[in-house]
Amino acid sequence: MTKNTGPATEPVHDLESLRRSGRLTITVDEACTLLGVDRRTLYKAMAAGEIPEVRVQARRLIPRLKFLRLFEDVNNEVAA
């Protein structure tokens, strides 16, 4: 099995790079970095349904577009 490389697998560190990314999902660690929270806090938010998630076997991933939609109103307020 080959490892994916290239822009689609590069980690994201801010919302702008996440928007430009063509990836379908982001990792828990990336979401923690973007939100400035620890893994336990993020897992609690996922369990409460506050952060969307998909499970792929034992892995928990966050759909990129749904995650970005959480911040659409915030971005509109900042731009105004």
pLDDT (0 to 100) of residue 59: 95
State yes or no: pLDDT of 3 exceeds 90. no
Q: Does domain 10-79 have CATH number 1.10.10?
A: yes
What are the residue ranges spanned by the domains of the chain?
A: 10-79
| Other CB atoms within 10 A of residue 23 CB | 17
What's the pLDDT tens digit per position in 51-60? 999 999 999 9
| Comparison of pLDDT for 55 and 77, the residue scoring more | 55
70 with 26: CB under 8 angstroms? no
- The pTM score is 0.76
The residue with tokens 């400035």 is 36
What's the rounded Cα separation, in Å, for the pair 69 and 64? 9
Strand 59-63 to strand 25-27: parallel, antiparallel, or no bridges (unpaired)? antiparallel
Termini Cα distance of the chain = 48
